[in-house]
A and B are shown apart, each in its own frame.
Chain A
Amino acid sequence: MNQNDNNTHGDDILVKMRGLHFGFGSRVIIDGMDIDIPRGKVTTIMGPSGTGKTTLLRLIGGQWRPSAGSVEVDGVNVHAVGRKELYRLRKRMGMMFQSGALFTHLSVFENVAYPLREHTRLSESMLRHLVLMKLQAVGLRGARDLMPAELSGGMARRVALARAVALDPMMIMYDEPFTGQDPITVGVIMQLIRLLNDSMGLTSIIVSHDVAEVSAISDQIYMISEGKVVEHGAPQSLRDSSSEWVQQFMHGLPDGPAPFHYPAPEYAADLLGTA
């Protein structure tokens, strides 16, 4: 499937978020975001931990509902459609969770076969071919009979990736794909994300705070902080940004607009107990 086959809406923007707000009770997580995810590109949403990056993915997938604003995927307002329509849309989305989220009672082969068994009526031999092709793409054809408990963290994510692309989706979302991985695995996952995006005509959305890795494979980056988009653009333009906050984040500086200290009373007064 190429990029044009995935374009059912004739629009270069696959995911449009407008005026998005979301929170838990009185705690605001997303405070009015406008984000465009272009079709066929790798877009990264980057920001410090706890700024609502994973929340954005759950809002795009329709798992959570925003308190205000809208999310359109391929022209469909995710939160305005019924369950049936939402499920139809989700069949065209893939998601790789941070943990891999493999089904622990199923083998690697059966994990990748799961969406195919659920949504298609392929013969067993055709299904086997498809699963082996997906596993070959992530380099784990030889691991088909292993159980998830026998896999390393990196292998589990690659299996999760193979499962996420099993139905040839139009887009794929990656939740912190590099966190906690060794350099070789990081390199493998980076290569796979770029390769699968380009060869399958996918649109990729990565949520991450690994600056070097995502800068190397992203076409554009959205920097978010405190529920808002701080800046967006190509990785190079963000590196050259004049924003102090962006500079702090891109270069990993310990103090700056994002303070080192959590808000607290004046230090001396606190020690003397007069605060």
Chain B
Amino acid sequence: MVLDEGLQRLGRAGLAVFERLGRAVLFLMQVLTGLPDLVLHLRLLVRELYSVGVLSVAIIVISGLTVGMVLGLQMYNTLIDFGAEQSLGPVVALSLVRELGPVLTALLFSGRAGSALTAEIGLMKVTDQLSVMEMMAVDPIKRVVAPRFLAGTISVPLLAAMFSAAGILGAYFVGVGLLGVDSGAFWSQMQDKVDLYEDVYNGVVKSLVFGLVATWIAVFEGYDAVPTTEGVSRATTRTVVHTAFAVLGLDFVLTALMFGG
């Protein structure tokens, strides 16, 4: 009896998850069909690029810098045991460009901009701003969601590039500036070991996928939020948690596909 109830509950929860996933996919289709309309409303896109992209630059650059500094310090202490401290440049660059840049940028983006997108769209729903748009014969998916979605998808790869660049500078400051690694070796080995296609290109693809998924989750959670204060609060939390799971899971899949041999 208890087992039956447990199975039923599990089945219902499973169905609810798939039902919501289906809704999210249909929502994404609607958003994608709304993108061409943005050509006529470039001002909306520019405003959102500023809001989700430009305003995220500070947190991304500062985080990248500190991650790079820590990475430089840790890697130096490990590499010196093998007499390989001159390889600090490529080790740090590969870690950042392949993994840490795209992943941490997506997670930071979700916390700074994704949660704000969810809250903003959710509050527009609570205050009937989306309904009033519909009643004015204006599609809120085209005017509210699509520009935010595209801005987020464009911003994350650019922010990831900034994160990696700041991280490399941070590692350079610690490795070369403080610990005495040769500056020429730092840059020349990095240039030699980091491959444009294998490393940089794959990192860009990863950050593009993460940006799309993180923004998709953020705008969907906002649009699908229960229109109450508590509903928006829960949706905002879900955005950050689901994005973290999705990004980390996808990172493994993409890494296996790109570098799995």
Contacts and interface: CB of A to CB of B under 8 A. Distances in A.
A63 B135 contact: yes
Contacts of B189: none
A195 interface: no
B8 interface: no
Interface string B125-166: 001110110111111000000000000000000000000000
Interface string A185-215: 0000000000000000000000000000000
Nearest to A173: B135
A90 B137 contact: yes
What is the predominant secondary structure among interface residues of chain B facing chain A? loop
Interface stretch (A10-18, A99-107, A249-257): A99-107
A61 B133 CA distance: 12
A98 B127 CA distance: 10
Contacts of B129: 101-104
Give the bracket for the number of chain A residues in contact with chain B: 20 to 34
Contact of A61 (B127, B135, B139): B135
A87 B134 CA distance: 8
Interface in B87-140: 127-129, 131-132, 134-139
Contacts of B134: 61, 63, 90
A115 B134 CA distance: 11
Contacts of A9: none
Contact of B128 (A101, A115, A119): A101
B135 A95 contact: yes
B137 A101 contact: no
Interface string A81-112: 00000011011011101110111100000000
A114 interface: yes
B137 A91 contact: yes
Nearest to A96: B132
A118 B132 CA distance: 13
A88 B137 contact: yes
Nearest to A166: B136
A74 to B, nearest CB: 15
A61 B131 CA distance: 10
A179 B56 CA distance: 41
Nearest to A98: B128
A104 B139 CA distance: 18
Nearest to B134: A63
A167 B131 CA distance: 17
Contact of B131 (A91, A101, A103, A114): A101
B138 A63 contact: no
Nearest to B47: A105
Nearest to B123: A104
Contacts of A101: 127-129, 131-132
A97 B131 contact: yes
Contacts of A104: 127, 129
A93 B138 CA distance: 13
A236 B182 CA distance: 95
A171 to B, nearest CB: 12
A5 B149 CA distance: 42
A61 B132 CA distance: 10
Given A101-B127, A104-B127, A95 B138 contact: no
B172 to A, nearest CB: 41
Contacts of B135: 61, 63, 90, 93-95
12 contacts: A63-B134, A87-B137, A88-B137, A93-B135, A94-B135, A98-B128, A104-B127, A114-B138, A118-B136, A118-B137, A119-B136, A119-B137
Given A63-B135, A95-B135, 5 more contacts: A61-B134, A88-B137, A90-B134, A91-B137, A118-B138
Interface of B: 127-129, 131-132, 134-139
Interface of A: 58, 61, 63, 87-88, 90-91, 93-95, 97-99, 101-104, 114-115, 118-119, 160, 167
Those 10 A-B pairs whose CB atoms lie nearest each other, nearest first: A101-B128, A87-B137, A101-B132, A90-B137, A95-B135, A97-B128, A91-B137, A115-B136, A118-B138, A61-B135
